């Protein structure tokens, strides 16, 4: 059954693809668009194939001890069976910051990581909800979807850069009419990457809602994930979290909750929906299941 979040993702992708096509054609016709798309694809393919290693190294994650965390292994094995997918590799991230993330280009190469903080903070049923959410990302191929979105957004950024530089170097000696049309194209080249970034973030937020829904359906307990998110929200509220590095901030989109504070207008630029909205949706889902 196709969910509203899947429809939303497809719609946003169509807008992103149309922006890339129109901007590329305006700059250099089909050849200009193809060149930018090739460059963007090569850049993001490398990320797609090696992201799991980079992220695990960045977080200093180590394989989760099955002897010490047998309950987590049993939970993930049960969820994998329900989702009809292979058992992912499990990793532990040191530190008290409660969070979890999934990475890997497909279910056969998936990794699910939990922090020491989230293991100690959540009850077993809440942690099960979190693990189901992360495995839903793998099942829904969200790593692939994110890579495609990043490729299109990067393509738009490359084309916009080429337009700006070509207009800058070609501006001299032009008559006033050409300068006027060039100014309009320059403004378009400035605005379009910003629009593409907003669409890419909207796709990310739609995938978070979809993972909440898929994970809750799998573990048959939407309130477990809602309770976990409420605890994680309380932790974010009580501690002022800032990215320790630009690199850490760049991969924070993989986590079940964005680990750093976003307030006011910054929510527009967040990779995650507001936690209170995710909790409300899960609670409504639980009410519908009871009817």
Q: Residue 243: which residues within 8 A CB-CB, separation 6 or more?
A: 249, 252, 260
111 forms bridges with which residues in the sheet? 89, 103
SS3 20: helix
217 flagged as catalytic: no
| Cβ–Cβ under 8 Å, residues 57 and 109 | no
Strands 62-63 and 89-93: antiparallel
* Per annotation, catalytic residue among 134, 208, 217, 283: 134
DSSP 160-185: HHHHHHHHHHH-TT--HHHHHHHHHH
Angle between helix axes 142-170 and 124-139 (nearest 10 degrees) is 60
63 forms bridges with which residues in the sheet? 91
The beta-strand segments (E) located in the chain are 62-63, 89-93, 100-103, 111-115
User: Known catalytic residues?
Assistant: 134
């Amino acid at each position: 059954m196709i969910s509203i979040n899947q429809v939303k993702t497809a719609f946003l992708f169509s807008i992103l693809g149309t922006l890339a096509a129109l901007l590329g054609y305006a700059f250099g016709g089909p050849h200009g668009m193809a060149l930018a798309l090739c460059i963007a694809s090569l850049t993001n393919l490398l990320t797609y194939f090696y992201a799991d290693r980079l992220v695990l190294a960045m977080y200093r994650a180590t394989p989760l001890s099955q002897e010490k965390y047998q309950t987590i292994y049993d939970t993930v094995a049960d969820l994998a069976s329900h989702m009809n997918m292979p058992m992912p590799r499990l990793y532990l991230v040191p530190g008290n910051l409660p969070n979890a993330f999934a990475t890997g280009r497909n279910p056969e190469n998936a990794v699910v990581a939990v922090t020491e903080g989230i293991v100690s903070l959540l009850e077993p049923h809440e942690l099960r909800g979190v693990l189901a959410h992360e495995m839903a990302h793998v099942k829904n191929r969200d790593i692939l979807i994110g890579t495609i979105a990043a490729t299109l957004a990067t393509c738009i950024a490359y084309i916009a850069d080429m337009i700006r530089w070509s207009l800058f170097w070609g501006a001299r000696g032009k008559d006033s009419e050409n300068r006027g049309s060039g100014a309009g194209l320059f403004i378009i080249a400035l605005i379009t990457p910003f629009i593409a970034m907003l669409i890419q973030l909207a796709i990310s937020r739609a995938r978070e809602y979809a993972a909440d829904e898929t994970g809750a359906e799998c573990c048959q307990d939407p309130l477990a994930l809602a309770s976990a998110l409420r605890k994680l929200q309380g932790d974010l509220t009580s501690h002022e979290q800032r990215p320790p590095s630009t690199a850490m901030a760049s991969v924070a989109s993989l986590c079940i909750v964005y680990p750093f504070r976003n307030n006011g207008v910054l929510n527009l630029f967040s990779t995650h929906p507001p936690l209170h909205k995710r909790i409300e949706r899960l609670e409504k889902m639980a009410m519908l299941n009871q009817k």
